[in-house]
Amino acid sequence: MSAPAPDVAVIGLGRIGLPLALSFADRGLTVVGVDNDAGRLEAISSGRMPFMETGADELIARVHASGRMSTTADVTDAAAADAIVLTLGTPSLSHIEIDMSDIRSVLDDLLPLLRPGQTIVLRSTIAPGTTEFVAGYLERKRGFRVGEEVFVAHAPERIAAGRFLEEIDTLPCIIGGVGEEAGRRTAELFEVFDAEIVQTTPVQAELAKIWANIMRYTTFALPNLLMMDCEQYGANVFEVIDLVNRDYPRGGLAQPGFTAGTCLRKDFAFSEERSNAPGMLLAVSRVNESVPNFLVTGMKRRIDGGSLNGRKVAVLGLAFKRDTDDERDSLAHKLVRLLERELADVAVHDPLVASPTQPLEEALRDADVVVVAANHSRFSEPATVQAIAALAADDALLVDPWNCLGSGQVFAFADEVALVGGPGVEESPKQ
What pLDDT digit, counting tens, does each position of 217-262 carry? 999 999 999 999 999 999 999 999 999 999 999 999 999 999 988 8
Taking the CB of residue 401, how many other CB atoms lie within 10 A of it? 24
Which pLDDT score, from 0 to 100, does residue 130 have?
95
Largest CA-CA distance found in the chain, in angstroms, rounded: 78
pLDDT tens track for 382-396: 999 999 999 999 999
Average pLDDT over residues 84-93: 89
Which pLDDT score, from 0 to 100, does residue 429 have?
40
**CATH 3.40.50.720 domain range(s) in the chain:** 8-209, 237-425
Average pLDDT over residues 186-211: 97
Q: Is 116 exposed, middle or buried (0-12, 13-18, 19+ CB in 10 A)?
A: exposed
Closest among 387, 326, 397 to 355, alpha carbons compared: 326
Strand 411-413 and strand 397-399: the pairing is: antiparallel
pLDDT band for position 346 (50/70/90)?
very high
Average pLDDT over residues 398-416: 95
| 3-state DSSP assignment of residue 260 | coil
Strand 345-349 and strand 312-316: the pairing is: parallel
The class level of CATH for 237-425 reads alpha beta
425 has pLDDT over 60: no
Average pLDDT over residues 252-274: 88
pLDDT band for position 421 (50/70/90)?
low
Taking the CB of residue 1, how many other CB atoms lie within 10 A of it? 3
Give the gyration radius of the chain's Cα atoms.
Answer: 24
According to DSSP, residue 146 is labeled: B
Q: Is 85 exposed, middle or buried (0-12, 13-18, 19+ CB in 10 A)?
A: buried
The class level of CATH for 8-209 reads alpha beta
pLDDT band for position 323 (50/70/90)?
very high
